[in-house]
A and B are shown apart, each in its own frame.
Chain A
Amino acid sequence: MNNNKEQAIIAIDDPIVQVKDLNLFYGQSQALFDLNFDIPRHRVTALIGPSGCGKSTFIRCINRMNDLIDGLSTTGSIRLDGRDIFERSLDVIDLRRRVGMVFQKSNPFPKSIYENVIFGMRIGGVTEKPILDETVEKSLRRAALWDEVKDRLHDSAMGLSGGQMQRLCIARAIAVSPEIILMDEPCSALDPRSTAHIEELIRDLNGEYTIIIVTHNMQQASRISDYTAFLYEGELVEYGRTKKVFTVPVKKATEDYITGRFG
């Protein structure tokens, strides 16, 4: 308990997300314990920790993806730009447009590449072709996919490679111009080349978007993130600048995990 309080003290100048006393229960069993920390705006924050420690559970809170799970309950608050996202009056659709998400398993819709990218705009009611065209090009360029697919935008997205599909999913998330992009192990199903591609892309998006990324790859976390949070059994054990967490961790558990002694 004490530890968490200590972590929360880490000062973030301009936090976009503020997590306060967050507890989460799947029915009777508790999965997150008293989380307290701030996530910086326009920076990449990595979430690391052994399997089952609650990383996915946590980031799925931020866009309220967990609403879909029966029997889930939370206490405490997550503030997005100062506003509690658990508030009843909050529009979930609006929240999800502000907080995009990329999943571990790339899952483009069985539609054309073009339609995949503009799906979010279409359901938002945008119909003007020039705007859609522009968004498609911009998003695909942003996701470093444009050059590879610009000649077959209207082909099915199912014809893409795994890495291309994942970048398409990132383009799809970017297309609705979210403020935050959540990524849950976006590279774990990809080969090293595609992984490098996506890492480069994340570095590129850094400074413009707030990215919260879950990863099991320590090198990846240290390469791409500015801040790192280490979760262990539902508790936040250590949180700070990535350089610091990876070179001089405060906690023994962090050091053990990072150096591969468990997890």
Chain B
Amino acid sequence: MKKIVKNKYWRDGEPFVWGSAAALSLILILTFSLLIVIFKNGIAVYWPSPQLLFEMEDGSSYLGEVVQDEEQPTGLRHQLKIANRDLYGLDFTWIDAADIKNKSRPEGAVVLERYGYGNFHGFLSALNLPSLVVDHGPPWPRFQAALAALGPEIAKVKESKGELRALNHRIVGLDKKIAQYHHRGDDDPATLLPLQDEKGLLHHEFDRLVADLEALETTLHQNTALFTDATGRQQSIALTAIVRAYQPNAMSVFAKTGLYLSKLWELFFAEPRESNTEGGLFPAIFGTIMLIFIMSIFSFPLGVLSGIYLREYAKEGFLVRLVRIAVNNLAGIPSIVYGIFGLAFFVYGIGSSIDQAFFPEYLPTPTFGTGGILWASLTLGLLTVPVVIVSTEEALGAIPSGLRESSYALGATKFQTLVRILLPMASPGIMTGFILAMARAAGEVAPLMITGVVKLAPSLPLDGNFPFFHLDRKFMHLGFHIYDIGFQSPNVEAAKPMVFVSTLLLLGIVVLMTSSAIILRNKMKKKYAITH
């Protein structure tokens, strides 16, 4: 009797069902914990935390926010972000809970975000505004009014910096032209002199602008505010060095939300500062998306066409089987190997040849013979093309043969059948390949590191200067950014929030791109699904 029961238990596959359910749950739990950790840490970074003033038994005091608590054998201790790197050397410190004499939340605590030296925590004590016209009143509103009044002045500075860049661009262009003449052996003064003259004029204009700019900046720098830190030390800070100032303890939820949104805006649309650990990620976001787009432009058509040829046109045989095995195995090659191949083949091979053929006048400075977004995209394209080939082949193979035969029986040619019946029906499957390829490409960092990604790119690969797409340029990338600030930064502790934010952003981009592809695919699926 017992034996039969046991047999039935095994026969129904109960343990198997439990085993597979457990495996799935484990994977889900792991994935979700990862997501939750990233989400929790990433989403809260920009929410202003309260500034606490700790007075210690030994007479020292700290103003800062609690970053984390840790239970030690000696008792509980807190990690504080005390900022003021210019005063203390370190942004963070540990204090023992037992040593705290008094803890308070001063309303007047000010947090400054600065262009250099990280944040400042302290109290506003006085203002010195020689070149700004601001109404008299209590210091904090006056300080804010001064910051607001500084806005248009800073805009002016930015504007003349833009002019300087444009001038510089023209000077570089002239230099290139002159280099071309020299390269051709054309040293005729009649052609060169006007160019030299023009260059001289531009230089003159450049120098004038620089002088003006310096004068303006000097007067602006004279506007300062005097702050006192927790221990009473005084620090004078130029208003131009301040990105943002707020009093977190006095802020309403509404004001905090405003601040949060403005920081998010900065994250998405501004340039990074402080060796990438602060400020925006716009260049990295832009680089990541553009990389994937260029990759797709190369990889998708190539992969789909190869898949079509393999499945529909190539005669089944030893060679085709070999190719198929090779394609399947390509997906298993470590990505760094693709990177090395990209470096050797695209950068040193094709890139150097392009330079010799089209840009010899700038040599030895390479144009395409060095890492750049084009080569990185092509390398990623190579990496993802097997995924597209395999999914295209499988999607075509999954179409019932009856449909092909019906099409042929109605007098359709092979090509007509392919275009009118097979490709539309295979499109959802092909899209799945695209989605996988895109997700894989977005997550790769290793091959990029040797084919053109940089920590800080001076300019975007797409801008208003002719010919708009500068595919030879180096670029920034979120994945590399995470690695760089997380592990290569001199101030790892201060960079930690940015690591989470960047990770969250990268995840967001992948989710956004793949989910739009999934929506598209589901539409296709609905349209071309067959039911029998």
B398 to A: closest C-beta gap in Å = 13
A131 to B: closest C-beta gap in Å = 17
A96-B425 CB under 8 A given contacts A110-B530, A158-B529: no
Q: Which residues of B contact A93 (CB under 8 A)?
A: 411-413
Tell me, yes or no, whether A173 is within 8 Å of chain B by CB. Answer: yes
Binary interface encoding of chain B residues 396-428 relative to chain A, with 1 for a CB under 8 A from any of its CBs, else 0: 000010110111111111001000110011000
Binary interface encoding of chain B residues 43-82 relative to chain A, with 1 for a CB under 8 A from any of its CBs, else 0: 0000000000000000000000000000000000000000
Binary interface encoding of chain A residues 64-87 relative to chain B, with 1 for a CB under 8 A from any of its CBs, else 0: 010010000000000000000000
Total B residues in contact with A, Cβ cutoff 8 Å: 23
**Contact indicator A96/B408 (Cβ below 8 Å):** yes
**Contact indicator B410/A119 (Cβ below 8 Å):** yes
B429 to A: closest C-beta gap in Å = 13
Of the four ranges (under 10, 10 to 19, 20 to 34, 35 or more), the interface on chain A belongs to 20 to 34
**Contact indicator A103/B406 (Cβ below 8 Å):** yes
**Contact indicator A123/B409 (Cβ below 8 Å):** no
Across the interface, name the chain B residue whose C-beta is closest to A99: B409
**Contact indicator A96/B411 (Cβ below 8 Å):** yes
Tell me, yes or no, whether A55 is within 8 Å of chain B by CB. Answer: no
Cross-interface CB contact of A124 among B400, B411, B421, B527, cutoff 8 Å: B411
A201 to B: closest C-beta gap in Å = 18
**Contact indicator B400/A107 (Cβ below 8 Å):** yes
Q: Which residues of B contact A94 (CB under 8 A)?
A: 411
Cross-interface CB contact of B411 among A68, A123, A158, A169, cutoff 8 Å: A123
A32 to B: closest C-beta gap in Å = 20
A123-B412 CB under 8 A given contacts A103-B402, A110-B425: yes
Tell me, yes or no, whether B532 is within 8 Å of chain A by CB. Answer: yes
**Contact indicator B530/A158 (Cβ below 8 Å):** yes
**Contact indicator A169/B425 (Cβ below 8 Å):** no
**Contact indicator A109/B416 (Cβ below 8 Å):** no
Q: Which residues of B contact A173 (CB under 8 A)?
A: 409-410
Tell me, yes or no, whether B469 is within 8 Å of chain A by CB. Answer: no
**Contact indicator B529/A109 (Cβ below 8 Å):** no
Tell me, yes or no, whether B218 is within 8 Å of chain A by CB. Answer: no
Cα A93 to Cα B408 in complex, Å, equals 8
Interface residues of B in 363-418 (CB under 8 A from A): 400, 402-403, 405-413, 416
Tell me, yes or no, whether B531 is within 8 Å of chain A by CB. Answer: yes
Tell me, yes or no, whether A172 is within 8 Å of chain B by CB. Answer: yes
Tell me, yes or no, whether B32 is within 8 Å of chain A by CB. Answer: no
Tell me, yes or no, whether A105 is within 8 Å of chain B by CB. Answer: yes
Which of A93, A100, A109, A162 is the most central at the interface, judged by chain B CB atoms within 10 Å of its CB? A109
**Contact indicator A101/B409 (Cβ below 8 Å):** yes
Q: Which residues of A contact B527 (CB under 8 A)?
A: 110, 156
**Contact indicator B529/A110 (Cβ below 8 Å):** yes
Q: Which residues of A contact B405 (CB under 8 A)?
A: 65, 68, 101, 103, 107
Can you report 18 A-B residue pairs in the complex whose CB atoms are below 8 A from each other? A65-B408, A65-B409, A93-B413, A96-B411, A100-B409, A101-B406, A103-B402, A106-B532, A107-B405, A107-B406, A109-B407, A109-B421, A110-B425, A110-B528, A119-B420, A120-B412, A172-B406, A173-B409
Known: A65-B409, A109-B407. 13 other contacts (CB 8 A): A96-B409, A105-B402, A106-B532, A107-B405, A109-B421, A110-B425, A110-B529, A119-B412, A119-B420, A120-B411, A123-B416, A158-B531, A169-B406
Task: Write the residues of chain A forming the contact surface with B, with a CB cutoff of 8 angstroms.
Answer: 63, 65, 68, 93-94, 96-97, 100-101, 103, 105-107, 109-110, 119-120, 122-124, 156, 158, 162, 169, 172-173, 176
Nearest first, the 10 A-B pairs at minimum CB distance are A107-B402, A101-B409, A120-B410, A97-B411, A96-B411, A110-B528, A123-B412, A158-B531, A123-B416, A93-B411
